[in-house]
């Protein structure tokens, strides 16, 4: 058995703070946020994710959000507990008022995913099975919180979907209606992306930054640095679109493309075709 003195000495050492890691800003509960997203999903897709009274779901969702927003406002906005509590209640109410519009947006995403995948047999299958809908449900939820000025919580929500689906959507991205992701694993959508209507991405697509600018202290400057995709753009698997460039509407980018310059509308970008050689008697290179 390990001596008690050794255990206590280790505990004392671990209790000392690392200089670069701040003390806990307690109260934010990721599990409570999981429950909030679950209630939200059950509300916008009523009947798909368990039975229950919609009024009760909304009440519980509002209560969880009010508490978690208050914690975030206390920890990251410097508000007093009383002020943060009032802010939490007000912001949660504003979020609940946005739920009908969020449901409408997600319904367009369901249709886009279904229309873009011949393997989908029904809207029900898309809602219940497709990782894209899980990621988009978290994203739409988180983006609404971010627009309401809520700190940190939106990022927790989208990272929970990232862990579950392999789809990484920053809550700050602006994504229009009828958005779809096919398969989805490895998709990355950066913070300052702007995506229009009826855009479709395939697995492994990166909408990322090409480079960063730094301030006088060497800190990255948070400015628009991710692509703009106009309406009706399709990007096939494993392509990277980098930097604050604009991809014109109705463009198609093929697989494995590295795109760092603007494209006019109706563009088609593809990799060169592979060279195929046939050797006699099975000979190799």
pLDDT for res 47: 86
Write down the pLDDT at residue 214: 76
pLDDT of residue 82: 86
CA atoms within 13 A on the CB side of 81: 3
Q: How much is the pLDDT for 76?
A: 85
Domains of the chain: 23-166 (1.10.3130.10), 186-274 (2.160.10.10)
Average pLDDT taken over every residue of the chain: 92
Long-range contacts of range 164-170, CB-CB < 8 Å, 24 or more positions apart? 164/131, 164/134, 165/131, 165/132, 165/134, 165/135, 166/131, 167/131, 167/132, 167/135, 169/135, 169/136, 169/138, 169/139
**pTM tops 0.85, yes or no:** yes
- pLDDT, tens digit, for every residue of 192-209? 999 999 999 999 999 999
Contact status, residue 105 vs residue 147, Cβ threshold 8 Å: no
pLDDT of 142 reads 98
CA–CA dist 106, 90 (Å, integer): 24
Q: CA separation (Å) from 81 to 62, 69, 73, 88, 118?
A: 18, 11, 9, 10, 52
Q: Radius of gyration over alpha carbons of the chain, in Å?
A: 23
What phi and psi, each to the nearest 5 degrees, are found at residue 87?
Answer: -65, -40
Q: Mark out the alpha helices in 79-205 (DSSP H runs).
A: 81-115, 123-129, 131-147, 153-165
Chain center to CA of 181: 12
Closest by CA to 37, choosing from 45, 88, 193, is: 45
Within 10 A of 119 (CB to CB), how many other CB atoms are there?
Answer: 6
Backbone angles phi, psi at 77, to 5 degrees: -115, 0
From the list 200, 178, 190, 197, the residue with the least C-alpha distance to 252 is: 200
Instruction: List Cβ neighbours of 70 (8 Å cut-off, separation of 6 or more).
Output: 27, 81, 84, 85, 87, 88, 89
Cα–Cα dist 96/107, whole Å: 17
What is the token pair recorded at 133?
Answer: 């809908």
* pLDDT for the residue 22: 61
**In this structure, are strands 188-189 and 206-208 parallel, antiparallel, or unpaired?**
parallel
Per-residue confidence in pLDDT tens, the chain, 285 aa: 889 999 988 888 877 766 666 655 568 999 999 999 999 999 999 989 887 888 999 999 999 999 999 999 998 887 788 899 999 999 999 999 999 999 999 999 999 999 999 999 999 999 999 999 999 999 999 999 999 999 999 999 999 999 999 999 999 999 999 999 999 999 999 999 999 999 999 999 999 998 777 777 777 777 899 999 999 999 999 999 999 999 999 999 999 999 999 999 999 999 877 777 777 766 555
Residue 111, burial from CB neighbour count under 10 angstroms (0-12, 13-18, 19+): middle
End-to-end CA distance of the chain: 63
69 neighbors 81 (Cβ within 8 angstroms)? no
């Amino acid at each position: 058995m390990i001596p008690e003195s050794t255990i206590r000495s280790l505990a004392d050492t671990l209790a000392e703070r690392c200089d670069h890691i701040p003390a806990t800003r307690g109260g934010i509960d990721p599990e409570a946020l999981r429950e909030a997203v679950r209630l939200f999903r059950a509300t916008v897709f009523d009947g798909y994710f368990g039975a229950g009274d919609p009024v009760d779901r909304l009440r519980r969702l509002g209560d969880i959000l009010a508490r978690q927003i208050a914690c975030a406002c206390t920890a990251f906005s410097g508000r007093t507990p009383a002020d943060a509590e009032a802010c939490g209640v007000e912001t949660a109410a504003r979020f609940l008022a946005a739920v009908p519009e969020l449901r409408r947006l997600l319904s367009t995403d369901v249709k886009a995913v279904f229309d873009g995948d011949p393997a989908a047999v029904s809207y029900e299958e898309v809602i219940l099975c497709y990782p894209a809908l899980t990621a988009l449900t978290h994203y739409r939820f988180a983006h609404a919180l971010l627009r309401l000025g809520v700190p940190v919580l939106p990022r927790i929500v989208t990272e929970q979907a990232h862990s579950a689906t392999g789809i990484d959507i920053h809550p700050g991205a602006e994504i229009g209606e009828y958005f779809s992701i096919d398969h989805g694993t490895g998709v990355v959508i950066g913070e300052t992306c702007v995506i229009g209507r009826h855009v479709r991405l395939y697995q492994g697509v990166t909408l990322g930054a090409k480079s960063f600018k730094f301030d006088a202290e060497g800190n990255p400057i948070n400015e628009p640095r991710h692509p703009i995709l106009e309406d009706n753009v399709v990007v096939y698997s494993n392509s990277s679109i980098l930097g604050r460039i604009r991809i014109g509407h109705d463009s198609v980018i093929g697989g494995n493309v590295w795109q760092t310059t603007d494209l006019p509308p109706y563009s088609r970008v593809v990799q060169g075709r592979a060279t195929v050689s046939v050797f006699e008697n099975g000979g190799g290179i």
